[in-house]
Structure 1
Amino acid sequence: MLEARDLLGPATGTRELNRKKMIIEIMIKADRQSRIARRSGLSQASVSTAVQELAEAGIVEAEKGTEVRGRGRSAQVRLRPVRGVAVGVDLSHDHVTVVARRVDQHFDRIRVQQRQDGAHGGLRRLLPSIVGMIGDAVEETGQTLDDVVAAGISVPRMIDPRTGRFTTPVLPPWTEHDQPAEELGRLLGVHFAIDNDANLGAMAEQTYGMDEPAETVVYVKATTGVGVGIMIGDKLLRGQRGMAGEIGHLTMDRYGEVCQCGGRGCLDSIVGAESLIAEVRQALRGNTIDVPVTLASLIEKAHAGDAVCARVLKDAGRTIGLALAQLCNLFNPHLVVLGGELATGRELILGPCRQELQRYALAGAVNPAEGFVLRLSQLGALAEAQGALILGLRSCHGDEGGRTVNRAVGSGVSSS
């Protein structure tokens, strides 16, 4: 059996580097040659030539019903059996999700481990549990931790693309000394690439969440707070210091409550999980009925017909829609995807959000007749972990997270 570690080893010269980049993209997703070219940034001719060479070397093969030879860009290309596993970790405030997949299998053939306990409990305390979850997920693939060749981690904080560490201000529950990628890397002996969760959700939706990639994708991660990841073509917009997409700290009410970032009236302070729960509790003060204590329970009660919980979710949807209207006027995206726990509110969130988009954005920017789409995430709770898996594989090329818009200095996001 082929070894993924050998395929991902050092490469020199343009031809070898391009071949390695293409192998990585096939590991990320078996696909048509035209899409592999788009995702890798290589020319159609380069991909076609490399695919033919790899097929002759017994490294790739055509999907059933297609042929590498003679079908050109329409051929569905996948790896032949390979020993190697890629891992993605989503370390959130209140949960951890781990996904693992053999690199020669389809992107949806993942093994999943989850726990409802996240960074709020402290990184040091969590690390042994995360290592155990990774071990269990990898074991379910039929391989071992020694076969892990790529790993990435998603965190709900800004990551400086020059250093791979938290961008200041470092907000709770994190501290400036926390280095989750480096800590996990030391414990497992594997390089972990790291990036913001909304960025990786956008990357996963662009790669796995649609049949044909959209030119500009905005992914909204709405849970404890709100963040946005922006894909422009095959490039991820991070900004100079990784602060692009911090829509949660967009000022929505200059006289509103003080946010933990030090600002006032931020979107996070209005539609973040704690704020929504507090709003429900305030409305139900004095009642002895079951009052929701988590966002999940609030959403569950709203779906069950609770008028207060439903109203709070609808108002949150409207506020998010107003914020997204400003973003749509700036970037004119093709696709806006609502993800995170708040998106499980489904139409209670989506409907009001769509109404405010139509009301406050330029009509041409959000016109469905012109191709604009607003929808819920296709990947659900696994979007960020799937994005982390993609990030880990692309880091094997030395260009973590793909090509980056507005990369001022450095070589991309890295945990080293």
Structure 2
Amino acid sequence: MADTQDLLGRLPAAGPTRAANRRKVLLAVAIRPGTQADIAHRTLLSQATVSAAVRELAETGLVPGVKERGKIVLSPVNDVGVGVHLGTNHTTVVARSLDADFDQVALRVSSEGVSRGWRRALPEVRHMIDEAIAETGRRRSDVFSLGVAVPRMINPRTGDFTQPILPPWREGDDPAGDLGAWLGARAFIDNDANLGALAERTYGTREHAETVVYVKASTGIGAGIIVHNSVLRGHGGMAGEIGHFTVDPNGAVCQCGGRGCLETVIGADALIAQAGGARARNGAPVPETLEEVIAAANAQDAVCMRVIHDAGRVLGQSLAQLCNLLNPDLVVVGGRLAQCQLFLEGCREYLRRFALPGAVAESSDFVLASSELGTWAEAQGALILGLRGMEHVGSDA
């Protein structure tokens, strides 16, 4: 088994292009083992280039060769990848030995997020990371890569929060920098919907879909867009911010400063307020969290069923415009609202009502589905982000 953090150090010197290709193939295998065709598709390299890189990796012992069904796998290593999702009202951490399958992760989940402020949340996040790493049988010093997912816009060129910095984050907060310095590892950060899309595209059953939209419907609403295996981030990291589509020009003021944003209509606070207002009129208990609204809807509570079903319809209408614009193969709905079938039914109903028929026809292989990875999709995407980021760190080129 390789010494800690030795994964890339074991690669011998080579010309710049050859070294970069070999490094890319190695990290692609660490993200998910696959056939040479699979690796070529994910890295956008030719199969001949992948084949040459695999032969060289086999010579170093990093790749033992081709296993069952022609899959290329990683040899046993100490190195660990970590992914962290810093939600507003929850935190999720995944850690995985890089020679293990993607679903063999140590998982830690907390109902506390960063709504209390990053500085107050940081100690618990560190503790969760330590616990997850220990469960893999490794040590903190074995961490090879770290990715962080946040429900906010991230400038892809700087890794900083895109202005305006919205609560609960504040000017000067640097979660990736803080956690990376503590672990002694390079850390990378991106919007959580982007990383949910990356995880669904990488680990879902439709890995070869050309255009994928992942919608995170939870405390807020956001979307991640994958085109040809690349995350569409936009110039300032604001691509996919459907939560700030204007759906009611005379509606409530959003925390972004806009009015009537989608998030003000179907975000957690809005749904809790809708359900609470109706419940209060008949003396029934008022829900205090989105989980309570969802649980009541699943238990056939008439008020919460209506609130959740209508929220799905509103999202479906917005997604119809996105489908008309992007014509995706796959739309995945994740986040806590995706746990309620009524929400998905409403979304599907209005998506088909308002989108161009050709954009969402089953005959065109279009699929609207709930997340296959569930509530840990964003953390898994963060782990992938960390590994992808290592393509350009300390290159042997």
- Of residues 244, 249, 252, the one that matches 2:247 is 252
- Structure 1 residue 33 corresponds to structure 2 residue 36: yes
What CA distance in whole angstroms lies between the structure 2 residues aligned with 1:396 and 1:65? 28
Give the AA of the match of 1:224: T
TM-score (norm 2): 0.96
Give the superposition deviation at 1:63: 5.8
**Contact 2:279–2:285 at 8 Å: present in 1 too?**
no
Give the superposition deviation at 1:103: 0.3
Which residue does the alignment assign to 2:360? 366
SS of 1:7 mapped into structure 2: coil
Gap regions ≥5 residues in structure 2: none
- Of residues 162, 184, 197, the one that matches 2:192 is 197
What CA distance in whole angstroms lies between the structure 1 residues aligned with 2:158 and 2:96? 28
Cα displacement string for residues 225-263 of structure 1 (whole angstroms, at most 9, x for unaligned residues): 110000001111000000000000000011111111111
What CA distance in whole angstroms lies between the structure 1 residues aligned with 2:275 and 2:60? 62
SS of 1:49 mapped into structure 2: helix
**Contact 2:81–2:145 at 8 Å: present in 1 too?**
yes
- Of residues 262, 267, 272, the one that matches 1:272 is 267
Decide whether aligned partners of structure 1 residues 343 and 156 sit closer, same or farther in structure 2, where only a CA change above 3 A counts. same
Give the AA of the match of 2:53: A
- Structure 1 residue 176 corresponds to structure 2 residue 171: yes
Gap regions ≥5 residues in structure 1: 67-74, 400-416
What CA distance in whole angstroms lies between the structure 1 residues aligned with 2:222 and 2:215? 6
What CA distance in whole angstroms lies between the structure 2 residues aligned with 1:240 and 1:228? 16
What CA distance in whole angstroms lies between the structure 2 residues aligned with 1:299 and 1:158? 27
What CA distance in whole angstroms lies between the structure 2 residues aligned with 1:261 and 1:58? 51
Which residue does the alignment assign to 2:392? 398
Give the superposition deviation at 1:57: 3.2
Q: How does 1:152-171 map to 2 (within 5 A)?
A: 152-171=147-166
Which residue does the alignment assign to 1:8? 8
- Structure 1 residue 51 corresponds to structure 2 residue 45: no
Give the superposition deviation at 1:4: 6.3
Give the superposition deviation at 1:87: 0.1
Cα displacement string for residues 24-76 of structure 1 (whole angstroms, at most 9, x for unaligned residues): 0000001111111111121111001111232243221346434xxxxxxxx21
**Contact 1:131–1:188 at 8 Å: present in 2 too?**
no
Deviant stretches of 4+, over 3 Å: 9-12
| Worse overlay, 168-177 or 376-385 | 168-177
**Contact 1:7–1:20 at 8 Å: present in 2 too?**
no
- Structure 1 residue 242 corresponds to structure 2 residue 245: no
Which residue does the alignment assign to 1:406? none
- Of residues 319, 322, 331, the one that matches 1:324 is 319
- Of residues 356, 370, 374, the one that matches 1:380 is 374
SS of 2:68 mapped into structure 1: coil
What CA distance in whole angstroms lies between the structure 2 residues aligned with 1:144 and 1:187? 13
**Contact 1:90–1:384 at 8 Å: present in 2 too?**
yes
Give the superposition deviation at 1:83: 1.3
Give the superposition deviation at 1:114: 1.1
Cα displacement string for residues 153-179 of structure 1 (whole angstroms, at most 9, x for unaligned residues): 000000001110100111111112211
- Of residues 272, 289, 298, the one that matches 2:293 is 298
What CA distance in whole angstroms lies between the structure 1 residues aligned with 2:362 and 2:4? 43
> How many residue pairs are counted as aligned between the two chains?
390
SS of 2:185 mapped into structure 1: coil
What CA distance in whole angstroms lies between the structure 2 residues aligned with 1:235 and 1:77? 22
What CA distance in whole angstroms lies between the structure 2 residues aligned with 1:111 and 1:63? 27
Which residue does the alignment assign to 1:65? 68
Which residue does the alignment assign to 2:21? 18
SS of 2:73 mapped into structure 1: strand
SS of 1:277 mapped into structure 2: helix
Cα displacement string for residues 367-409 of structure 1 (whole angstroms, at most 9, x for unaligned residues): 111100000000001100000000001111128xxxxxxxxxx
Decide whether aligned partners of structure 1 residues 153 and 172 sit closer, same or farther in structure 2, where only a CA change above 3 A counts. same
Decide whether aligned partners of structure 1 residues 190 and 57 sit closer, same or farther in structure 2, where only a CA change above 3 A counts. closer
Give the superposition deviation at 1:288: 3.2
Give the superposition deviation at 1:338: 0.2
Give the superposition deviation at 1:211: 4.8
Give the AA of the match of 1:33: Q
